Chains A and B, each alone.
Chain A
Amino acid sequence: MQLRPILSSLRHHKLTAFLLILQTAFTCAIVINALPMIAYRIERTSTPSGVDEDCLSLAYVSGIQKNVNQQAQHATDLDALRRIPGVESVAVIGSGMPFKGGENSYGICPSASAMQEAMSAQSFDKTDCQHPDVYNGSPGFLQVMGLHLVQGSDFAEGDYSTGDVPTAILTRSLAAKLYPGESALGKTMFQGKTQIRVIGIIDDVLRPMLRDAGQDHLVMLWPQLPDDTGSTYLLRSAPGDRERILNEAKAVLVKINPNRLVPEAYQRTFAAVRHKYFQRDVTMISLLIASGLGLLFVTALGITGLANFWVQQRRRTIGIRRAIGATRGNILRYFQAENFLIVSFGIVLGILLAFALNLTLMNFYELPRLPLYYLPMGAVMLWLLGQLAVLGPALRAAAVPPVVATRSV
């Protein structure tokens, strides 16, 4: 296929060609910028939490009276919840749980000297100390959550108390951060004046809120019994039983002590917790995809519309070409090549625009620099779109009979 006749023909339709190029360029620039936003959010929403998501439900109950013996209340509640058919295990947990939001972090140092350093600098930055989130609960909460111990042992029954803790279990990531290159097991950590011994390492589990990469899995487990007026019970069951168990749990909790609040909105499966945490991301993903598709659709409409117009305008020329020996394939490919050329110009301009747009957006939002591999993706998308949009008009052009050449218009 020779490009020269196409180029010289386009020169006669400079402006229309330019409008098509401009439109393709805008679409290309926006799509290239939207793609990484979509990818980033999809990746975010599919982050695995590290707990057995499909088996967990959370029941929340908040007390009204003050000065209640929470521990006795917990024991009664746990006992009753365990009796619900289908409940495999249950524990009362503290405020921390993946995707629950909020923060329950403590500064912790791997050694006494690091603690000193942090104290004198009045800051944990630039020291070996870390700010992990803490997950705690009643005995057995590791098993209920479905956390996997990879080294060391679980807490002993005697470790559990409502006060300062003597022992802790770390995630792999936290252990590696605090004690790079050595085993964390058996080490003593410093939290203010308290010393905490590491007795176990678990596979990574997410913090309550997502943060920067490298910070997402800094979690330690404490054998600390929750003692707030509001209690969260974590129930483990088969996935199909969760809704029923939550309903029964609510009834059970109200029956034990009617003078408590069991708000409907806080009786939820872990899947619901996860859904709520990512709701805004999901909105954003659907918005981005919808406008991206809208843009592509509008661009395709424009290409088809103008190509149709061109075909009509050139019916005679096409007829002449057919009459002097061009095959249908020749005509078809002519229009396809023309479209390819226009879209290619659009893509080149679009890539420049995409960089400009990215730089502007970076000024206003916390967006990363545009990753280069999205450029070929955007380009391929638009080439395909262009070819698809021009196919109809090109086929119609190919169907123009040679006899048109002999007719005057």
Chain B
Amino acid sequence: MFRYYLGLGLHSLRRNPALTVLMVVLIGAGVASSMITFAALRALTADPLPQKSAQLFGPQIDNWGPANRSEDGEPPRALSYNDALALLNAHKALRQTAIYQMTLSLVPSDAKRAPFTVKGYAATEAMFAMFDVTFIDGGGWGAEDDAKGGSSVVLSRRLSQKLFGGVNSLGRSVSLGGHDYRVAGVMGDWNPQPRFYAEGSINIVSDVGDPPDFFVPFVTAVNFQLNDSWGESCVSDYKGVGWNDLLRSECVWISFWVQLPTLADVQQYKFFLDGYAAEQGRIGRFQWAPNNRLRSLLQWLDYVHAVPEETRISFLLAIGLQLVCLVNTVGLLLAKFMRRRGEIGVRRALGASRRAIYVQFLIEAGMVGVAGGLLGLLLTALGVFGMGSFFDARVARLVHIDVSLLGLTLLTSIVATVIAALYPTWRAAQVQPAWQLKSN
């Protein structure tokens, strides 16, 4: 029976090719537009560290007070050096790390090669375990370098390759920003996106996609007076000059992350933060009630609007487009099916049940859906490959096609077409055979 209906459907679709093509194009274009934008949205809203994100939290401390607070009453997004140091030394979380971004010039040891700029971060050793950094050689720099500010560096695989070719670079020396560092480790393909870990780099499109070039110990970076590459945010009347003033100031520039495995740990850490702020109040530093935040990684991404606005808007637009395509398809199918009242009447009179009519017409619609889906697949693939010329090329690099996207495209178009066909099919099944046979 199924094959008979397939044959009937094919025959009917061939009888009016223009209408059929129109429906297929509508479904294909509608599905492709929402799939392309969905792929972009999915790439940009993906959890950067799925296995860890639930345990990672970013504390914020209000060291600016009501006078400098933003309108929504939120504390600054980064910490001052004083607060970062206090939280590091308190050891109240399973692991904690302070991070900031820097851009340094690298002078290759080979004098013939021109110096170039590299982007990386200052962090503490705990970061490697917290963010599940993978290594192909060596590892972190160890507790001693963390405490005493040793000149160690962890390189990305790409930078290590660029500097030393294929050979093992462990223990080799790298001149970064005028200081020599010893290579302690080379990272594997570790590259969570977006780069949630440092405040400045989340919304910077130019950093999307690439892994960081290096990590150096936090204490070392502070000793060498290496500035944050996005600059510090200070209260408007800050008049300090130079590095030591900056360290003592309320200027914020350091991102901080803690690992809290259980809910109880989270509660305790909140309690600790409030206690810390209250203590700062007692010693006269804060003249206001504690106003702290402890956001989980995903809450943090949401808070800083890590997903570009245009991605969401374009997804909404695509959904709108698909809706219109669908309504359109309902209309066209209705027109198509109702034109065959005569045929339906004959089939019913010859003994076909309502059920048989349902099956026949849903199969016909399903065929349109499959054809639309195939066209949709093609358009989606073209769209994703061509995204670089539309979206920012680096954002586009994150977007990729996989089996689930292809499956979803096909499924969406078939389901959408069958849903669109439900009402027209019902109407077709309601046709009274006697009526149709009588006229004409």
Residues of A with Cβ closer than 8 Å to B? 15-16, 19-20, 22-23, 26-27, 30, 34, 37, 62, 64-66, 102, 106-107, 119, 121-124, 131, 192, 259, 261, 263, 279-280, 283-284, 286-288, 291, 294-295, 298-299, 301-302, 305-306, 309, 312-313, 364-365, 408-409
The residue in chain A whose Cβ has the minimal distance to the Cβ of B329 is A302
Give the CA-CA distance A22 to B26 in the complex, in Å: 16
The residue in chain A whose Cβ has the minimal distance to the Cβ of B427 is A15
Contact partners of B22 in chain A: CB under 8 A: 301, 305
Give the CA-CA distance A180 to B231 in the complex, in Å: 34
**Inter-chain contact A298/B117, CB cutoff 8 Å:** no
Contact partners of B332 in chain A: CB under 8 A: 302, 305-306, 309
Which of chain B's residues 210-249 have a Cβ closer than 8 Å to chain A?
A: 231, 236-237, 239
B147 in the interface (beta carbon within 8 A): no
**Inter-chain contact A131/B321, CB cutoff 8 Å:** no
Contact partners of A280 in chain B: CB under 8 A: 205, 308, 310, 392
Within the complex, the shortest CB–CB distance from A231 to chain B, in Å, comes to: 14
B168 in the interface (beta carbon within 8 A): no
**Inter-chain contact B335/A16, CB cutoff 8 Å:** yes
Give the CA-CA distance A37 to B29 in the complex, in Å: 23
Contact partners of A288 in chain B: CB under 8 A: 313, 317
Contact partners of B178 in chain A: CB under 8 A: 64-66
Within the complex, the shortest CB–CB distance from A287 to chain B, in Å, comes to: 5
Contact partners of A302 in chain B: CB under 8 A: 26, 324, 327-328, 331-332
Assess A30 versus B334: contact at CB under 8 Å? Given A23-B328, A287-B314.
no
Contact partners of B327 in chain A: CB under 8 A: 19, 22-23, 26, 302
Give the CA-CA distance A58 to B328 in the complex, in Å: 53
**Inter-chain contact A287/B236, CB cutoff 8 Å:** no
Give the CA-CA distance A302 to B312 in the complex, in Å: 27
**Inter-chain contact A287/B117, CB cutoff 8 Å:** no
Contact partners of B418 in chain A: CB under 8 A: none
**Inter-chain contact A287/B328, CB cutoff 8 Å:** no
The residue from B30, B318, B325, B339 contacting A313, defined by CB atoms under 8 A apart: B339
**Inter-chain contact B236/A131, CB cutoff 8 Å:** yes
B320 in the interface (beta carbon within 8 A): yes
Contact partners of B117 in chain A: CB under 8 A: 62, 261, 263
Give the CA-CA distance A102 to B30 in the complex, in Å: 40
Apart from A66-B178, A302-B327, 7 more pairs, CB < 8 Å: A16-B334, A26-B324, A287-B313, A298-B325, A298-B328, A302-B26, A309-B339
**Inter-chain contact A286/B309, CB cutoff 8 Å:** no
Contact partners of B325 in chain A: CB under 8 A: 298
Give the CA-CA distance A102 to B229 in the complex, in Å: 12
The residue in chain A whose Cβ has the minimal distance to the Cβ of B332 is A305
Within the complex, the shortest CB–CB distance from A323 to chain B, in Å, comes to: 20
**Inter-chain contact B324/A291, CB cutoff 8 Å:** no
Contact partners of B313 in chain A: CB under 8 A: 37, 284, 287-288, 365
Give the CA-CA distance A312 to B18 in the complex, in Å: 14
Interface 1/0s, chain B 1-44, versus A by CB < 8 A?
Answer: 00000000000000000010010011001100100000000000
Interface residues of chain B: helix, strand, loop or mixed (majority): helix
Within the complex, the shortest CB–CB distance from A250 to chain B, in Å, comes to: 12
**Inter-chain contact B331/A305, CB cutoff 8 Å:** yes
**Inter-chain contact B324/A121, CB cutoff 8 Å:** no
Contact partners of B391 in chain A: CB under 8 A: 283
The residue in chain A whose Cβ has the minimal distance to the Cβ of B225 is A66
Contact partners of B440 in chain A: CB under 8 A: 408-409
Within the complex, the shortest CB–CB distance from B99 to chain A, in Å, comes to: 21
**Inter-chain contact B314/A291, CB cutoff 8 Å:** yes
**Inter-chain contact B320/A26, CB cutoff 8 Å:** yes
Give the CA-CA distance A37 to B115 in the complex, in Å: 44
In the complex, 28 of the A-B residue pairs with CB atoms within 8 angstroms, ordered by the A residue number, are: A15-B423, A15-B427, A16-B335, A19-B328, A26-B320, A37-B313, A64-B107, A64-B115, A64-B178, A121-B67, A261-B115, A280-B205, A280-B308, A283-B310, A283-B392, A284-B313, A287-B310, A287-B390, A294-B321, A298-B321, A298-B324, A301-B25, A302-B324, A302-B328, A305-B332, A312-B339, A365-B309, A365-B312
Give the CA-CA distance A64 to B324 in the complex, in Å: 59
User: Can you list the 10 inter-chain pairs with the closest CB atoms, starting with the nearest?
Assistant: A122-B67, A302-B328, A309-B335, A19-B331, A291-B317, A23-B327, A123-B67, A284-B310, A107-B236, A30-B320
B68 in the interface (beta carbon within 8 A): yes
Give the CA-CA distance A284 to B395 in the complex, in Å: 14
The residue from B205, B312, B323, B390 contacting A286, defined by CB atoms under 8 A apart: B390
Within the complex, the shortest CB–CB distance from B325 to chain A, in Å, comes to: 6
**Inter-chain contact B328/A301, CB cutoff 8 Å:** yes
B303 in the interface (beta carbon within 8 A): no
Contact partners of A291 in chain B: CB under 8 A: 33, 314, 317-318, 320-321
**Inter-chain contact A301/B26, CB cutoff 8 Å:** yes
The residue in chain B whose Cβ has the minimal distance to the Cβ of A266 is B117
Contact partners of B334 in chain A: CB under 8 A: 15-16, 19
Give the CA-CA distance A34 to B317 in the complex, in Å: 9
Within the complex, the shortest CB–CB distance from A166 to chain B, in Å, comes to: 17
The residue in chain B whose Cβ has the minimal distance to the Cβ of A37 is B313
The residue in chain A whose Cβ has the minimal distance to the Cβ of B103 is A62
Contact partners of B328 in chain A: CB under 8 A: 19, 23, 298-299, 301-302, 305
Within the complex, the shortest CB–CB distance from A343 to chain B, in Å, comes to: 14
Within the complex, the shortest CB–CB distance from A257 to chain B, in Å, comes to: 12
**Inter-chain contact A287/B317, CB cutoff 8 Å:** yes
The residue from A34, A122, A294 contacting B65, defined by CB atoms under 8 A apart: A122
B271 in the interface (beta carbon within 8 A): no
B184 in the interface (beta carbon within 8 A): no
Contact partners of B312 in chain A: CB under 8 A: 364-365
The residue in chain A whose Cβ has the minimal distance to the Cβ of B206 is A265
Contact partners of B267 in chain A: CB under 8 A: none
Within the complex, the shortest CB–CB distance from A396 to chain B, in Å, comes to: 13
B105 in the interface (beta carbon within 8 A): yes
Give the CA-CA distance A286 to B313 in the complex, in Å: 12
